[in-house]
Amino acid sequence: MTVLVQNGTILSATGRRAGDVLIDGESIAAILAPGQADALGIAPDQKVDATDKYVLPGGIDVHTHMQLPFGGTEASDTFETGTIAAAWGGVTTIVDFAVQSAGQNVHECLAEWHEKADGNCAIDYGFHQIIGGVDEESLKAMTYLVDNEGITSFKLFMAYPGVFYSDDGQILRAMQNASETGSMIMMHAENGIAIDVLVAQALARGETDPKHHSFTRPAEMESEATHRAIQLSKIAGNVPLYIVHMSAAQALKEVAAAQHEGLNVFAETCPQYLYLSLEEHLSQPGFEGAKWVCSTPLRSHHEGHQRDLWKGLRMNELAVVSTDHCPFCMKEQKELGVGDFSKIPNGIGGVEHRMELLYQGVVTGELTLERWVETCSTTPARMFGLDKKGVIEPGADADILVWDPNGHTKIGIDDKHHMNMDHSAYEGFEVDGKVDTVLSRGTVVVENDEFIGRPGHGRYVKRGLSTYLN
């Protein structure tokens, strides 16, 4: 099966040019000059017309949580519904998290996540491994996963005591292991021990509304933990360290300082921290703010966090935009926290809207087109060893998003919304552009406002080591 994506403007992290993309099977065969296919007598089996549109590598979301057990419930998107929603948003690869808690066997936990995903994904997928219990067995398992399973990144938590929390000694041991194997440590950087004290004190004062989720997780708790994680990574031999879901300007300063030292320290942010805020969303009257409870929390717009995060993206202090997609419905899920904000399941659904929301940043002048591609596709691939993803070049997987800059997208339950949730965190947001056509490994999965892919098309991708290191 050959496909020709023709008449478009091809975007990359380094520039843009007119050209046609020839696909043979699941891979990109050639980049042709406009009209060159006709001149060479190439007669593809299928043509995709990209006239007046952008042609870019499919989005790669390296931080999702499908079917994640959390807070007495489970994330509402399955691997089937979540990857279909991702495809609707121009995403062609996700990297989700297999979860190990203290006392559990890492291999058994990974097998459970493979069982959840296998045969159900509409797009390609990989796994990071959460290590919630650092001990001799889990350390051995980390090495095995790098060598044999294509899992080259491990997430640790400085938050959630009693659930996923690791102390500094455990973190150091895991980092030393990662330093030996060349793997990446991903860090949820918040001082969970101190946060638990603030939460208990707030509840004792009768402060139970969702907005107190942010007040009890102040920016200082994020920046302190980020600083501590960086120092531990230095001791472990400049181990690659990736700070997830960064929300605070103070934490970003710690990352920038580490990068100035030449350390292998990187960070991501998420659309919610660029667009949503404590005042406008989390502080909605009554229990409405529960829709926007996530960790790290939404920050105050007036403190300049959004401004500094956009600047960090422009300056590459923030290398990647992911979603931390962890959706929960209000009914019977978020409602578990009525009268006690600490029991609201933490998470926002966004896997469908990242490419759209970040493109709006291009429209408003926050980012260039090239930086849009870089932060949403090319760098995620390099950061996490997805060697055939994130670029449009011969030999790469034919994961392609055709984007219509003249289109329009309105996000909302009654507009564009395919995630398995009863609300949208971005209800009413409008984007000056639109997903037109999406190809996953050469197969069209979205076109003409219709999903035409299928669960089971997506394959598990074994990842290599990061190629984004200093």
Res 131 pLDDT > 80: yes
Q: Are residues 309 and 348 in the same domain?
A: yes
Digit-coded pLDDT (tens) for 292-337: 999 999 999 999 999 999 999 999 999 999 999 999 999 999 999 9
Mean pLDDT of 229-254: 98
Q: Are residues 310 and 193 in the same domain?
A: yes
Digit-coded pLDDT (tens) for 396-415: 999 999 999 999 999 999 99
Q: Residue 323 corresponds to which amino acid?
A: T
Q: Do the domain assignments include residue 469? A: no
DSSP-based three-state secondary structure for 283 = coil
Q: What is the pTM of this model?
A: 0.97
DSSP-based three-state secondary structure for 4 = strand
Q: Do the domain assignments include residue 260? A: yes
Structure token pair of residue 229: 């994680």
Q: Are residues 34 and 167 in the same domain?
A: no
Residue 470 has a pLDDT of: 67
Percent of the chain with pLDDT over 70: 100
Q: Is the dihedral of CA 438, 443, 447, 450 positive or negative?
A: negative
Mean pLDDT of 36-65: 96
Confidence of residue 71 (pLDDT cuts 50, 70, 90): confident
Res 72 pLDDT > 90: no
Digit-coded pLDDT (tens) for 370-405: 999 999 999 999 999 999 999 999 999 999 999 999
Domain with 400 in it: 2-56+393-451
DSSP-based three-state secondary structure for 112 = helix
Q: Is the Cβ–Cβ distance between 86 and 95 less than 8 Å?
A: no
Mean pLDDT of 249-260: 98
Q: Do the domain assignments include residue 459? A: no
Q: Are residues 436 and 339 in the same domain?
A: no
Q: Are residues 211 and 235 in the same domain?
A: yes
Domain boundary among 330, 350, 383: 383
Q: Are residues 377 and 339 in the same domain?
A: yes
Q: Which helix (H) or strand (E) holds 100?
A: strand 91-101
**Strand 91-101 relative to strand 59-64: parallel, antiparallel, unpaired?**
parallel
Residue 70 has a pLDDT of: 87
Confidence of residue 362 (pLDDT cuts 50, 70, 90): very high
**Domain with 340 in it: what CATH number?**
3.20.20.140
**Radius of gyration of the chain measured on its C-alpha atoms:** 21
Between CA 143 and CA 359 the distance in angstroms is 38
Q: Do the domain assignments include residue 467? A: no
Residue 315 has a pLDDT of: 97
Mean pLDDT of the chain: 97
Measure the N-to-C terminal CA separation of the chain; round to a whole number of Å: 40
Q: Which of 89, 12, 106, 97 is CA-nearest to residue 62?
A: 97
Q: Do the domain assignments include residue 97? A: yes
Mean pLDDT of 265-269: 98
Q: How many domains does the chain have?
A: 2
Digit-coded pLDDT (tens) for 135-185: 999 999 999 999 999 999 999 999 999 889 999 999 999 999 999 999 999
Give CA separation, 328 vs 157, 207, 421, 433, in Å. 21, 23, 6, 27
Residue 162 has a pLDDT of: 87
